[in-house]
Amino acid sequence: MHEAELRKLFDMYYLPVMRYLSHLTGEATAAQDLSQEVFLKLYYYGPSKLENPRAWLFRVATNLGYNYLRQRGNRMRRETAADNVQQERHDLEDLAIRSEERINVHQVLESLSERDRTCLIMRFSGFSYQEIAEVIGVSKNSVGTILLRAMRRFRREYENRGEK
C-alpha cells in the first residue's frame, strides 16, 4: 500500500511541485533536484501519516527552496568576497607597478637635459608647440624636432634602466 500511495501522490504532485520550485528558485535544474528531494522526504516520512499530503509537499518544497536560495546567496557572497580579495591583491600589485613606473619615469626625466625634460613635460601636459617654443626660447618650427629627439633619448634611457 505504501508504494501505491506514494506513486499516486508522485503522479499528482510532482509537476506542480517542480513548477512551484522553478518559480521560487528561478532555476529549472535546481527545481528538478529539489522536487526529487521533496519526494524522497515523503518516501521516508510515509505518505500514510499525512492528513493533507498536498500541503505537506508544498511546505517541504518551500523549506527546501528557501534553504537552497540561502545557500546560493551565501555561496555567492563568499565568491564575491573571494573575488574582492583577489581584486584587491591585483589592485595592490597594479599600484606597486604604477608606483615603480612613476619612480622610473621621474628618474629618467631627471637624467635628461633641462630643455628635453621641459619639452616633454609641457607637451604631455597639453601645451602647444607655440607655448613650448616661448618657454625654451626657440622657434615654433623647431619644437617638433626637439620633442622627437627628447622622446628618443627618454625611450633609450628608460629601456636601459629596464635592462639593469
Let me know if residue 94 belongs to a domain. no
77 and 18, same structural domain? Answer: yes
82, 99, 134: which is the final residue of a domain?
A: 82
78 and 116, same domain (yes or no): no
Nearest to residue 15, comparing CAs of 26, 31, 27, 2?
31
Task: Report yes or no on 134 lying in a domain.
Answer: yes
- pLDDT per position in the chain (164 positions), as tens? 478 888 998 899 999 999 888 888 888 899 999 999 999 998 888 777 788 888 899 899 989 998 888 887 766 666 666 666 666 666 667 776 777 787 888 888 888 888 898 888 888 888 889 988 988 899 999 999 999 999 999 999 888 876 65
Q: Give yes or no: residues 76 and 123 share one domain.
A: no
- With a CB cutoff of 8 Å and minimum separation 6, the contacts of 107 are 161
**In this structure, what C-alpha cell is assigned to residue 19?**
513548477
Instruction: Give the domain CATH number at 9.
Output: 1.10.1740
Q: Is residue 104 part of a domain?
A: no
Nearest to 30 by CA among 66, 58, 5: 66
Instruction: Give the domain range for residue 158.
Output: 112-163
Instruction: Note whether residue 98 is domain-resident.
Output: no
Establish if 103 belongs to a structural domain.
no
Q: Quick one: 67 and 122 in the same domain?
A: no
Element (H, E) at 133: helix 129-136
Q: What is the C-alpha separation between 109 and 131, in angstroms, rounded? A: 20
Question: 82, 101, 132: which is the final residue of a domain?
Answer: 82
Q: Judge if pTM exceeds 0.85.
A: no
Other beta carbons within 10 angstroms of residue 34's beta carbon come to 24
The Cα–Cα gap between 41 and 157 comes to 74
Number of compact structural domains in the chain = 2
60 and 125: one domain? no
Q: At 156, which CATH number?
A: 1.10.10
13 and 78 in a single domain? The answer is yes
